[in-house]
Amino acid sequence: MSTIHDEPLAYLKGLQERIITTLGALDGKPFARDAWTRDGDASSHLTGAGLTTILEDGKVFERGGVAFSDVKGTKLPPAATQRNPHLAGRPYRAMGVSLVMHPRNPHAPTAHLNVRAFATDDGEAWWFGGGYDLTPSYLYDDDSAHWHGAAKAALSMLPAGGYDKLKADCDTYFTNGHRNERRGIGGVFFDDLNEHHQVGGTYAHCFSVMRAVGDSFLEAYAPIVTRRKDTPFTEQQKRWQEWRRSRYVEFNLVWDRGTLFGLQSKGRAESILLSMPPVARWTYGEPDGVGPEERRLLDALKA
């Protein structure tokens, strides 16, 4: 089992360092580092280690986190076995990098990235997962074109129709079903990518797809934040951003399989929940002050 993870392990650690170096420089404030280990306990038998990095109250980012983890468990949690019932009760190893960045300026979008590798203890079953998606509070066509263009270019190795499938899967997955509303404007998403997946193939091919997503994230996101971080905004626009963040929280706590996997496997809650924004706002119905630009976003997000 260890052999199948040697290359992904080195890649994921390096990816985390590249991202926090670049985004820390963009903000002007370095990410704080919190290294941790897990020795297992009677309730989870989960072992492993990781590095959670966090940037709070920065000039550009109100809150952001980039987390690396490498854990082993004796029994897969329900979030995994629901789609793979034949693996119920199997020991496993899972590693990945997960990121969420919440900019201070409401004109700069929130972004999410996750890339991960999984294998059972004997290496018989393995897969890669990942993707990234963009969650703006205000819709800018040039930002959207840049974001999706970067993803499409990065995944040029996929067979015909492969990128379109992962783009459509992203829209489907990142949806608040209880509100019939997508979380954001999408990106790409894949799960359980292996030799049996529609756009999968060999281990080397699937690993290359994961790398392509991870390597293209900064190119896709950093120019957008740079373009929007100094845009003037009003207090009402800030309140609108906080209201939109509440939808982000709802998705992560109700629908996100990664969050459920981490909590069900009794992982490190502080790291699992680093995706939460520092301030979110709920109102009964729509908030006051919804104008044409806010309505344009809401119309675009209808599922």
Out of 5, 102, 107, 112, the active site residue is 112
- E strand segments, 141-197: 175-176, 181-182, 186-193
d(CA 254, CA 203): 32
- Cα distances (angstroms) measured from residue 30 to each of 58, 186, 270: 9, 28, 19
Tokens matching residue 20: 């926090």
Partners of 53 in the beta sheet? 33, 66
Q: Please, what's the b/e burial string for 189-219 (b: 16 or more CB within 10 A of its CB; e: otherwise)?
A: bbbbbbeeeebbbebebbbebbbbbbebbbe
Counting every residue, how long is the chain?
Answer: 303
112 is catalytic: yes
Element containing residue 67 per DSSP (H, E): strand 61-73
- Catalytic residue ranges: 112
